[in-house]
Structure 1
Amino acid sequence: MPAPTLRTLAKSLGLSRTTVSEALRGSSCVKPATAERIKLAAKAAGYQPNPLAGAVMSELRRSRGNAFRGVLAAVALTESDRPLHAGPFFKEILRGATDRASALGFKIELFTAGGDTGVSLSRLDQILQSRGIQGLILMPVWHSPDFTALDWGRYAGVYADYMIEKPALHSICPDHHRSLSTALQQITARGYKRPGMFVQRHHDERLQYRWQGAFFAFQQNNPDCGQVPLLMADEINEKNFTAWFKKHQPDVVLGHNSQALEWMKACGASVPKTHAFVSLNILNSTTPCAGLDQQPAHIGLRAAEILVAKLHRNERGAPQPASLTTIAARWVDGPTIRDKTLARPIREPAEAVLA
């Protein structure tokens, strides 16, 4: 018995082939009751779409003069307590996603909801449906993300951050453990012996303590590199940083806030002569620093690729199971650490500098 096709399926249902195709692709153009009838008939008949044929046809349509296929939504929630330093990272994710989506024949539009926007997620859901938008990139949320107010039976989605459970979607984020390991390798190669790190509590908590875990693993496996306690606090400020710095005497400091450079200098440190500073995210630095480029544009790029692939496969809703894709950071040399060619143990003890 020949395998069922779109043509035979449409004929048996008394519908057009276009209607059947749109329904199986999850298009909102088909009435829900009709779409459900088509899907049940397709399942009963054993119909299986050919993904290779679908990809070829998509490429043929894209190459016919006008490459534009449709709109993807980048959805952001307004949060009053989101740190200002998150802004540049957000913009780079959006830039990477926009560039890659354009190359794949899609346009990205930014939609904001919550906070003082006056737009609830339920209202946004209506807007997206009226626009016929089916692909969503959820932008990073400072607190626990909850997008369950959207009708996920209509959307394919990805989350451009560490983890989302409401709903559980594919996520793309920096590889925090590997990235910190890269930074610590660069530090030890330059002869530093007492690395210390500070991190704002909620910043690491929302990542399930990925930064802390990588730092503790390094200390456990490198006992000769000092055992400077991690500085973690609800807020990292000059007072608690200075007390920690003077007490534990790190010769190199890792953290997200480049303002620590001024606090180090106020304690008598000379960077990079006697001490070093490494930024865990150079995009946030207010002054040139050595450190990690977490490559947020690549996070956006990969998010766009995963989302477009889901649309090509006609996948909607929460995947089973959801996966996490991580992007390794890139090390960037800078003026806050000595060059590898000058690597040597610091001759002057930190205690003498900070007395």
Structure 2
Amino acid sequence: MSSTAPSLRDLAKTLGLSHTTVSEALRNNPRVKPETRQRVHAAAKAAGYQYNPLAGALMSEMRRSRATTFRGVIAIVDLDGPAGRAPSSARYHRELTKGAIERAEELGFKAEVFIVGHEGMTPQRLDTILQSRGIRGVFLLPVSDNPDLTKINWSRYASIYTDYVIEQPALHNICPNHYRAMLMALHRLQSLGYKRPGLVIQQHHDERLFHRWEAAYQIYQHHYNNNATKVPSLLSREINRADFSKWFKKYKPDVVLCHRAEVLDWMRECGAKVPQSHGFCCLNTMMNPDVACAGLDLQPRLLGTRGIELVIGQLYRNECGVPELRTTTTVPAQWVDGPTVRDLKKK
């Protein structure tokens, strides 16, 4: 028996079907009858034939552009759209997209942004465009709510969602490791001499991450903080000056961890001298680019780089569709030194 896998034409001849029908059946084209698609897939598996979706995309793009070379296309899908997006989120999305585009080009692909939702096309329209252009890779940017993308025929696509869990459908995802980042920041602050850290966080920040910020903070307080009295976190739907000042004066943290840099002014109003007597750690330094802070860089550009690599890896392995068992890939944060904490080197 020959060890050479059959060609597409060999498979078509064996099945008594046209080359085009077999090709479209392997791409799960809905124009091919379901029973025919099932028969073609079964025969291909039995014969050891493996469909290469990149080859199909190559031919589709060459026919479309009449180009002699092709670098493949991956769709970067923006489900919210840039209009109305908060500046901090906009910066995060830009860095994420830059990382994806740069790495895609390095690996021989082209990444294009498609806007879906109230600012752009419908998911069904996106599906039609991707299918007509032979685009098989989808890179989903973070979205503010829980989108319903079940009307897209995901059997055609390799995909990744670049945030915590997406449910409709349940795709693979990649995101920062917020739990590990919190522990890293707390241990760093401990090494700088801070003994009473206090976490200030808005509920929606914590809830959309399944409470990973607060969980890591509580674990640190229980297992690593040797002080007899602990500082309870200030968790609020909307952090304001009055609530913060009351909490700060009552529990007397010597370093505050928070996303919002305006907390620095509230600390000073309460008598704190930053960084001489107190410290401030920003949980996402990208949120406050105009204020120099120590804190965490969640590395959105690296997130984009790794996310694109995951999509391309799926394409090469011909892994399309909603996964039976989804996976989560996490990217560690980096500590950023800044003027809002002590500098031990100056002591």
TM (normalized to structure 1)? 0.84
- Alpha-carbon deviation of 1:249? 0.8
**Kept in 2: contact 1:199–1:256 (CA 8 A):** yes
Q: How many Å separate the matches in 1 of 2:206 and 2:84?
A: 16
Q: What secondary structure sits across from 2:226 in the alignment?
A: helix
Q: How many Å separate the matches in 2 of 1:67 and 1:185?
A: 51
Q: Percent identity?
A: 47
- For structure 2, list consecutive stretches of 5 or more residues without a partner in the other structure: 59-66
Query: Which residue of the partner structure matches residue 110 of structure 2?
Result: 107
**Kept in 1: contact 2:176–2:330 (CA 8 A):** yes
Q: What secondary structure sits across from 1:236 in the alignment?
A: coil
Q: How many Å separate the matches in 2 of 1:84 and 1:213?
A: 27
Aligned AA (1:257): R
- For structure 1, list consecutive stretches of 5 or more residues without a partner in the other structure: 59-64, 344-355
**Kept in 1: contact 2:195–2:225 (CA 8 A):** no
- Alpha-carbon deviation of 1:151? 1.1
Q: What secondary structure sits across from 1:32 in the alignment?
A: coil
Query: Which residue of the partner structure matches residue 348 of structure 1?
Result: none
**Larger mean Cα displacement after TM superposition, 268-277 or 216-225:** 216-225
1:71 aligns with 2:77: no
Question: How do residues 1-355 of structure 1 correspond to structure 2 at under 5 angstroms?
Answer: 1-3=1-3, 5-7=5-7, 8-14=10-16, 20=22, 23-24=25-26, 26=27, 31-33=31-33, 35-43=37-45, 45-49=46-50, 68-78=70-80, 83-115=86-118, 117=119, 119-225=121-227, 226-285=229-288, 286-341=290-345
Aligned AA (1:12): T
**Larger mean Cα displacement after TM superposition, 186-195 or 237-246:** 237-246
- Alpha-carbon deviation of 1:307? 0.3
- Alpha-carbon deviation of 1:122? 2.0
Q: How many Å separate the matches in 1 of 2:120 and 2:346?
A: 57
- Alpha-carbon deviation of 1:66? 7.3
- Alpha-carbon deviation of 1:36? 4.2
Q: How many Å separate the matches in 2 of 1:146 and 1:81?
A: 21
Would the alpha carbon gap of residues 170 and 161 (structure 1) be closer, same or farther in structure 2, given more than 3 Å must change?
same
Query: Which residue of the partner structure matches residue 61 of structure 2?
Result: none
Aligned AA (2:121): V
Aligned AA (1:260): V
- Alpha-carbon deviation of 1:149? 2.1
* C-alpha distance after superposition, 1:333-354 (max 9, x if no partner): 11100113357xxxxxxxxxxx
- Alpha-carbon deviation of 1:17? 6.5
- Alpha-carbon deviation of 1:181? 1.0
**Kept in 2: contact 1:190–1:342 (CA 8 A):** no
TM (normalized to structure 2)? 0.86
Cα RMSD, aligned residues only: 2.7
* C-alpha distance after superposition, 1:103-123 (max 9, x if no partner): 1111111111212x2522222
Q: How many Å separate the matches in 1 of 2:16 and 2:287?
A: 59
**Kept in 2: contact 1:201–1:232 (CA 8 A):** yes
Q: What secondary structure sits across from 1:142 in the alignment?
A: coil
Q: What secondary structure sits across from 2:73 in the alignment?
A: strand
**Kept in 1: contact 2:79–2:117 (CA 8 A):** yes
Query: Which residue of the partner structure matches residue 349 of structure 1?
Result: none
